[in-house]
Structure 1
């Protein structure tokens, strides 16, 4: 999952970026409204975490511009501006959540998980396909009842596949979801991750199939 963090407090931005990346999210960070508006227009994000008191362009103006372009990313406003009229205005302009500083880190993480579930069209925190189960709250997998420990990129890829089970996930979507602008993810690297996942899933009768020239999808292995 790819997140854009828009925060002009450099120490807070650094801390939140480290937290989100440690949880396996791909994170891009900008510190002013104009850069946020430009990046949101040029790139695809699952979630935008948006401060309001920003240099160059107010966060509400960034939000207004995003929704005017029908940008589908979920938006969490993260701000010290907590007056009721401010919250109403932000939500009316198209924000999906509004969290006031200072905030509890556990609540912050839970709200992110909730927004990303909603973005993926999921109501529950648990997603299953055959004997594979994803607990989105813990961001962990069980395979045939046993913990499935995965490196961050493999875990992120498997999350994409199980959350879109039955659909082909395009290579371009994989790259956008798993990488920030600072990262690089080649077609060969994706194929290596897929190969490793196939080996891990095989004992449970599952596999990752290739839709030639398009992408990959989660499937049951042939008997």
Structure 2
């Protein structure tokens, strides 16, 4: 059973939803097009990797990229949630990495195939502990950053999201339905790059929570 920690207490994880192409600068750096509605993909719960655990890169990829993102923990599920009520369904906020086998993804996209092999491998969904939503001002923007070997690679600001948090939650609830324990990776800013064996990775969310991972040699 996959779990995360909310204020030190384990919470069971259900679905892992991820939103792609949600920062304009990241869309541009990969040469993609802007989306008219949230671009959603899923990761299996077996991909979940908590802070402090080692990351093993898949042997079938030579180009695994880090994508640092704000992650939401759903505390109250529902269907057809209105945007005005959406933020009340969040139990906690964390920081995570959507690891992507970029070479595998590019090949899949060229062939019109699903991205699962590029996005769902073991350790592809790294995530920190979560801080309770009630400890954060509702609707405030978040800033976050990612360092690799002490050098900042990514900086994010959720005020720049193309689809804001409330819109994402409402959309997912209408199309799929949300359940308690779902995780939502909300999109990555520009600055994605390859990880190498031995890299030490640190993600930080607005001074609220920090998580570290080491890439296995």
TM-score class, shorter-chain normalisation, is under 0.3
Provide TM-score, normalisation by structure 2: 0.21
Greater relative contact order: 1 or 2 (C-alpha under 8 angstroms, separation 6 or more)? 2
Q: Which has the higher strand share?
A: 2
Q: Which has the higher helix share?
A: 1
Provide TM-score, normalisation by structure 1: 0.21
